[in-house]
Amino acid sequence: MKKIWDISPPVDEHAAVFPGDAAYSQQLHFALGPGCPVNVNTLTFSPHTGAHADAPMHYANGAAAIGAVDLLPYLGPCRVIHCIACGPLVLPRHIEHALHALPARMLLRTSAVARQDWASFTAIAPETIALLATKNVALVGIDTPSVDPATSQDLPAHHQLLRHGLRVLENLVLDAVPEGDYELIALPLKLVRADASPVRAILREL
């Protein structure tokens, strides 16, 4: 049996979201009891809650919704690269040690303990995204809420993803994952008009 790492944070009322975005809420719609054989809940939350995949339409009007993107980038060989405590941005020099024979998917571990904290986190420099595009990377993931700083208005890293056709995963939990190569499975839901989708992201040993 191959080992599996669950790299998704819990999703409940305590899940952090971008300030002003919809917080997670859950209400019982049908209750198991006399005359009702099941429990059914109604959920309200941002599609950027927990581990999630951004769609191109999140940062470009007229671009694809998450339900229309190709699933291939979210499934297959993946490399976890450690750049722990590298500072506010992951720069090319922080990952150059692990770029040889890079698979099509790459996840960045930037902290010893992942935190869903919009107040302070490590983002990715746009030049790092551009470098990865030259390595035929199809997907970039990170253990922080966003590839751009929380205060960014022009979102340069997101627009580098758009320019090069890369997909992205955010809010991963890589605390227990050693640097190295794995199989990634992190499929978004087929939400046909949504700008993102939650994923249940896992890594499996090769």
Task: State both tokens at 147.
Answer: 């590839």
Q: What is the predicted pLDDT for the residue at 116?
A: 84
Q: What is the predicted pLDDT for the residue at 67?
A: 98
| Residue ranges at the known binding site for substrate | 18
Q: Write the CB contacts of 82 (distance below 8 Å, at least 6 apart in sequence).
A: 109, 179
Nearest to residue 116, comparing CAs of 27, 162, 49, 71?
49
pTM listed for this prediction: 0.96
Blockwise average pLDDT, block size 10, the chain, 206 residues: 96 94 97 97 97 98 98 98 97 97 98 90 98 97 97 96 98 98 98 98 97
| Residue ranges at the known binding site | 18, 48, 52, 54, 158, 170
Indicate if 29 belongs to the active site: no
Nearest to residue 192, comparing CAs of 59, 55, 72, 52?
55
pLDDT tens, residue by residue, 13-39: 999 999 999 999 999 999 999 999 999
Domain ranges for the chain? 4-8+50-204
Catalytic choice (14, 29, 58, 94)? 58
What is the CATH code for 4-8+50-204?
3.50.30.50
